[in-house]
Chain A
Amino acid sequence: MTLKLGPAGVPLSCKGRTIVEGMDDITVLGLDAMEVQTVRTIQPQHFDQYWQAGILSWNSDFEMNMHGPYYAELLGNKRERNRTLSKMETSLQAGKIVNARHLTFHVGPYGDYDAGDEANEQVANIFSGVVERVREVWGVAEEEEDYAAFPWVHEAEPSLVGIETSGRQELWGTVEEVIEVCNHVEGTVPVLNMGHIHARGHGRLRTSEDYSELFEQVRKTYGGSTFYCHFAGVEHRMGNALHYTQIKKSDLKFEPFAEFLAEEGDWMDITIISDSPLLEHDAMYMLQHYDKARQRLLEIKARDERRVKLAAAQGMDPEELKKREEEEAGARKAQLSSDSVEKLPKEEKKEITNKKSTTMISFEDKEDEDDIF
């Protein structure tokens, strides 16, 4: 499994505000991805910055990505659609210079369409054009010499076009819609914005099983093992995201996601972009929780392995041993809590009782529990 984490933009704590300075800071924090926000026009100063960022990402494992215009109306009238497409063109040009692995786009309101096949078809048609355009822009053989300083343009795969799930009922982009379109348009990938999915699903992502269900749905209906996600706290009401919050303040917790990734995420290559108001702080928070979840899983695995070995040595069934361990742990817990309300002389009594029980099965020692490895 590969997990890449990073913020949506230059880190808030970055003293400089350029992308390259931001990348340095992200690397120092132990993160390895970034999603840059699109600009309206690529000015010469942007161009230089983007190229440097592209070189840096090309020469390292750092994953650069780009987010398209924050406002999109792809299902609007011709004028609205063209306006959005022209903003998207800037994003894909910038994405090429910056060596973006993913270009993330919103679709926007349903406009005159109802949710359903017709709207999905229209979105699929538009994104076919976008993917075609990305391929045109990347790696034109005649331009190879002109792009000698941009090796990725000819050596890397063009950016994947990400279609983001939306967080409001009036915006196109349920998980099903996004997958439906991605299934029909090669070169597109679903961008699973967990905050949006949670909000739109009236708070559907609460446990690691919920995440398991979501990824199973995506795996079954879309296939593939590479995922690109956004994560932030979100306030929501009636199936609509109201606004982003830091993760700690939201009912969308990262712990269950971390637990799912640690326990069941072996088959996945996943990039998680923190688009919380606390960008890199929350990206770090996610990384810590993921590390904790993995640590916990390793502890459980080590305990199980040891139990199997001990059971074999004692000629017992591991399940039976587990049951016995649990009973003893429960009894010890109960005794400890009753001891805590008793007076001091009784403390000595407890020690004797404990010793008695621990001599029976030595691996249940308190010391052992703390030092599993």
Chain B
Amino acid sequence: MGENGLKIIGLMANSEDKRIRNILNYSNKIGAEIDEIIPNDLGEIDWREKLYSSNWLVNHSSTILFGENAKLAWSNSMTFAELEGCKSVMIVEVPDNPDDLEGVWGAVIEKIRQINILFLDPEVIDKISKLEGIPRDSLLNKIRMMSLIPIVCSYDTELRSAKVSHSGGNFEVSTNNKLQNYRWISAFLCGLSNSGNEDSGLVDAASGKFLRI
């Protein structure tokens, strides 16, 4: 376990996947133990060993676009996480080819019951909002309400603003500094593990309070 008693594991699309690596690196800097899974040979992956001791499994929606192995590992990882009591985080961003978004979002919806935290990038919120025909402002809340994901969130770097929809309600909170998305996610996950799931704990975690301690 890391300094803060937290272990975060990330499923990479391949060994060069910077998105997941960035989140892991940021998390490591703020005290979490990290590990990664690279889906080269699925038969080689000991899911139980990897996930049993982890608190969070971080996945990215675009991973499914990196071939069959990555797609299968992406799906399997969330199932094993569920079995091993490790919580799943899904980061949704606009894919490199925006036309892939509909397929990617469809795949996320299929796995929605296994996701504990859904992070939507501000840019993707606009697109999903159009795709689903749901107004942008209420998208997070409506997705959470209908899919029963415990936390649906987003962070806008330019506005330094985090939006969180959870079972106790919705809130918006600012961070002191402009954080890069992945850095905010790392801080949020580490913060959550430190402050628990109570409403005030969620606000603290989303405001990046953990980074200031």
Contact = CB atoms under 8 A, between A and B. Distances in A.
A276 interface: yes
B132 interface: yes
A214 B192 CA distance: 39
Given A71-B143, A242-B150, A244-B148, A277 B76 contact: no
Secondary structure at the A interface, as helix, strand, loop or mixed, is loop
Contacts of A108: 146
A168 B141 CA distance: 14
Contacts of B146: 70-72, 106, 108
Scoring A70, A168, A170, A241 by chain B CB atoms within 10 A of each residue's CB, the highest score goes to: A70
B167 A13 contact: no
Interface residues of A, number: 33
B142 A278 contact: no
B142 A275 contact: no
Contacts of A241: 148
Secondary structure at the B interface, as helix, strand, loop or mixed, is helix
Nearest to A109: B145
B108 to A, nearest CB: 11
Contacts of B71: 17
Contacts of B133: 83
Size category, B interface: 20 to 34
A275 B148 CA distance: 12
A171 to B, nearest CB: 8
Interface string B131-143: 1111000000011
Interface stretch (B27-35, B49-57, B110-118, B171-179): B110-118
A366 interface: no
Interface in A9-27: 9-10, 12-13, 15, 17
A92 interface: no
B112 to A, nearest CB: 7
Interface in B148-192: 148-150, 167
Lowest 7 CB-CB distances: which A-B pairs, in order? Answer: A83-B133, A277-B113, A243-B148, A12-B79, A242-B167, A277-B114, A71-B146
22 contacts: A9-B110, A12-B76, A12-B79, A17-B71, A37-B109, A40-B106, A70-B109, A70-B146, A71-B134, A72-B146, A168-B145, A240-B167, A243-B116, A243-B149, A244-B113, A244-B148, A276-B113, A277-B82, A277-B113, A278-B82, A278-B83, A281-B83
